[in-house]
């Protein structure tokens, strides 16, 4: 749909979806943490919907921008992590799992909202102008939010999926599993940069979860994502 766009046009279409997908993901963690008894993020002003409070120059701007410019592969990024103090929770392991899953669920909600925009924009039949731009942006919003959802559900520390898994594992197993976190970012980077058949290992791992999620949401909304 957007194969004819220039790099500048592509970045313009993706900028808002990427920024809000990444920052609202973090805000969702803080909102749930506050509900469960930890006001750390609130006291530090991190529950604001102002993206500038959450933007990480590298993770929110540089990395997604480079991935878009290079084309292909798996688009992802990150914001400044929202601080959470598990000592303020009544049930630390369970509550940390709930805080963790709030991020991917926020991306699911945003994917649905962007999908609705995509559907409305397509309904106008516009092939150029503002509505065509809105259609492109809606589809981009679906893609980045589904990407972040399936990425963060990976059970690899420090991703959200690992926090959820640690919340359901027996305490001893969770303690041993948590030791992987010191190597988690290194493992994630290796998954991104090591190529397999023309794409990264991470792209291979997340391909089918992404496709199935994208098709499922599109079917639910009654739209053709192509």
Which of 21, 22, 26, 166 is an active site residue? Answer: 26
Rounded CA-CA distance 115/80 in Å is: 26
Answer whether the bond into residue 165 is a cis peptide, omega within 30°: no
Nearest to 79 by CA among 156, 127, 27: 27
Answer whether the bond into residue 148 is a cis peptide, omega within 30°: no
Q: Token pair of 40, please?
A: 């750390």
Count Cβ atoms below 10 Å from residue 51 Cβ, excluding itself. 16
Q: Token pair of 214, please?
A: 């994208």
Torsional class of 139: left (φ above 0), alpha (ψ -120 to 50), beta (otherwise): alpha
Q: Which residue has the tokens 């359901």?
A: 168
Using DSSP's 3-state secondary structure scheme, residue 225 falls into coil
128 is catalytic: no
146-172 burial, b at 16+ Cβ within 10 Å, e below that, comes to: bbbbbbbbbebbbbbbbbbbbbeeeee
Using DSSP's 3-state secondary structure scheme, residue 200 falls into strand
Q: Which residue has the tokens 């992590």?
A: 81
Residues annotated as part of the active site: 26
């Amino acid at each position: 749909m957007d194969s004819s766009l220039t790099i500048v046009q592509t970045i313009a279409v993706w900028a808002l979806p990427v920024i809000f997908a990444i920052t609202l993901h973090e805000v969702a963690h803080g909102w749930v943490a506050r509900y469960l008894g930890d006001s750390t993020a609130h006291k530090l002003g991190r529950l604001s919907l102002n993206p500038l409070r959450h933007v990480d120059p590298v993770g929110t701007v540089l990395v997604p921008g480079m991935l878009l410019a290079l084309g292909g592969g798996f688009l992802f990024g990150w914001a400044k992590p929202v601080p959470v103090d598990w000592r303020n929770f009544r049930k630390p392991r369970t509550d940390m799992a709930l805080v963790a899953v709030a991020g991917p669920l926020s991306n699911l909600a945003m994917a649905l909202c962007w999908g609705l925009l995509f559907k409305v924009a397509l309904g106008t039949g516009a092939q150029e102008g503002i509505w065509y731009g809105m259609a492109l942006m809606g589809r981009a919003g679906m893609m980045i939010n589904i990407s972040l959802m399936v990425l963060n559900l990976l059970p690899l520390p420090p991703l959200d999926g690992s926090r959820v898994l640690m919340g359901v594992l027996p305490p001893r197993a969770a303690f041993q599993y948590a030791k992987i976190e010191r190597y988690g970012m290194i493992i994630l980077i290796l998954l991104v940069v090591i190529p397999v058949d023309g794409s990264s290992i991470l792209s291979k791992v997340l391909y089918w979860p992404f496709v199935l999620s994208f098709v499922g949401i599109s079917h639910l909304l009654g739209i053709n994502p192509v």
